[in-house]
């Protein structure tokens, strides 16, 4: 048994020690690995649930559906609308706390309907190095973190995902669409929809990691440094500007800028 197999076995052992579990499946590799391990350990005593709404990228839902189908885990999709929460819409430093609080409450409602006593997610060791107000809400809601309990970080998670044949094992990290709106600018449903459509268009052009940042008055497109030259090509950039103008974006910066991940706020 090599190191990756041992990591997977350790994760499965954590999940085997739980009762029936509900896995919050976002579509990212972290929760996908937890869902796969939960099904391997618990089979029908596991349920994966994806919450989707105006702040969730469409491609995340598509990936979550694909992963659940590959795994074979029982799976449900439920809609959530954080726009009903004035604290969330205010978009201050604790926005992610209010979002996770809403999501946790809805997940517990679903869990109770299925007599499931434990909810698990994809938080892992490396997440503790980021600025993540949402972790406070998860702790208050008693959401469990099997990857953290198994002392696994992102590198180990991606390796397990590759071992299990998950299609997103090397996919770039994503975040909710609200993270694209400048802090302090009120979140509007139409802005989230515009950001989603713009990023979907850029993904269709082959830019797999992209952020369309907006303050309501200005718009900035970020891609990894190595993708900036291709996106800056006049033919491609002209198409992008036409798309963004058609979606209603204003103040588009003249060229894309490098996206350099920092400590995430989630």
Same domain? For 189 and 130 the reply is no
The verdict on 157 and 188 lying in the same domain is no
Examine the fold and report which residue of 163, 194, 215 is the final residue of a domain before the chain moves on. 163
Q: Has residue 168 been placed in a domain? A: no
> Within this chain, do residues 213 and 140 fall inside the same structural domain, yes or no?
no
**pLDDT given for residue 1 in this prediction:** 63
Q: What is the CATH number of the domain that holds 34?
A: 3.40.50.620
Average pLDDT, consecutive stretches of 10 residues, N- to C-terminus, the chain (266 residues):
91 88 97 97 93 95 97 97 95 95 98 97 91 91 97 97 96 92 95 96 95 92 96 96 94 90 49
Contact indicator for 231, 207 with CB cutoff of 8 Å: yes
* Residue 146 shares a structural domain with residue 18: yes
User: Could you say which DSSP state residue 119 is in?
Assistant: E
pLDDT score of 191:
94
Q: What is the pLDDT of residue 265?
A: 39
266 within some domain: no
Residue 47 falls inside a structural domain: yes
- Does any domain span residue 253? yes
Same domain, 194 and 218: yes
Question: Do 16 and 87 fall within a single domain?
Answer: yes
Same domain, 157 and 229: no
Distance CA 60, CA 50 (A): 9
Q: Please tell me whether residues 139 and 181 are part of one structural domain.
A: no
Burial of 232 (0-12, 13-18, 19+ CB in 10 A): middle
**3-state class (DSSP) for residue 222:** strand
pTM higher than 0.85 for the full model? yes
Same domain as 201, residue 70: no
User: Which residue, among 260, 31, 16, 8, has the nearest Cα to 145 in the 3D structure?
Assistant: 31
Q: By residue range, what is the domain housing residue 158?
A: 3-163
Same domain, 148 and 181: no
156-171 burial, b if ≥16 CB within 10 A, otherwise e?
bbbbbbebbebebbeb
Based on the structure, what is the number of domains in the chain?
2
Whether 171 is in a domain gets the answer: no
Task: Report pLDDT for 110.
Answer: 98
Boundary residue ending a domain (163, 198, 218):
163
Indicate the pairing of strand 257-258 with strand 118-120.
unpaired
Q: Are 177 and 196 in contact (CB under 8 A)?
A: yes
In-domain check, residue 116: yes
One domain, residues 205 and 153? no
Q: Are residues 152 and 199 in the same domain?
A: no
CA 138, 266, 154, 151 dihedral sign is negative
Q: Is residue 263 in some structural domain?
A: no
């Amino acid at each position: 048994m090599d190191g990756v197999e041992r990591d997977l076995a350790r994760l499965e052992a954590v999940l085997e020690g739980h009762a029936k579990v509900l896995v919050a499946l976002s579509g990212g590799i972290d929760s996908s690995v937890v869902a796969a391990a939960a099904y391997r350990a618990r089979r029908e005593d596991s349920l994966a649930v994806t919450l989707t709404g105006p702040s969730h990228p469409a491609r995340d839902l598509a990936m979550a559906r694909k992963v659940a189908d590959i795994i074979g885990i029982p799976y449900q999709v439920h809609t959530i609308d954080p726009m009903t929460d004035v604290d969330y819409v205010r978009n201050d430093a604790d926005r992610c706390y209010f979002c996770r609080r809403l999501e946790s409450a809805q997940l517990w409602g679903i869990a109770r309907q299925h007599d499931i006593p434990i909810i698990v997610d994809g938080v892992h060791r490396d997440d503790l190095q980021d600025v993540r107000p949402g972790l406070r809400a998860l702790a208050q809601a008693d959401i469990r973190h099997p990857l953290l309990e198994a002392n696994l970080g992102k590198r180990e998670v991606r390796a397990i995902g590759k071992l299990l044949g998950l299609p997103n094992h090397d996919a770039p990290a994503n975040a909710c669409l609200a993270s694209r709106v400048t802090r302090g600018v009120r979140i509007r449903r139409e802005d989230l929809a515009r950001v989603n459509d713009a990023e979907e268009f850029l993904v269709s052009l082959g830019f797999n990691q992209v952020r369309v940042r907006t303050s309501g008055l200005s718009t900035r497109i970020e891609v990894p440094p190595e993708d900036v030259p291709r996106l800056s090509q006049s033919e491609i950039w002209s198409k992008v500007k036409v798309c963004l103008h058609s979606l209603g974006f204003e103040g588009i910066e003249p060229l894309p800028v490098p996206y350099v991940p920092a400590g995430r706020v989630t």
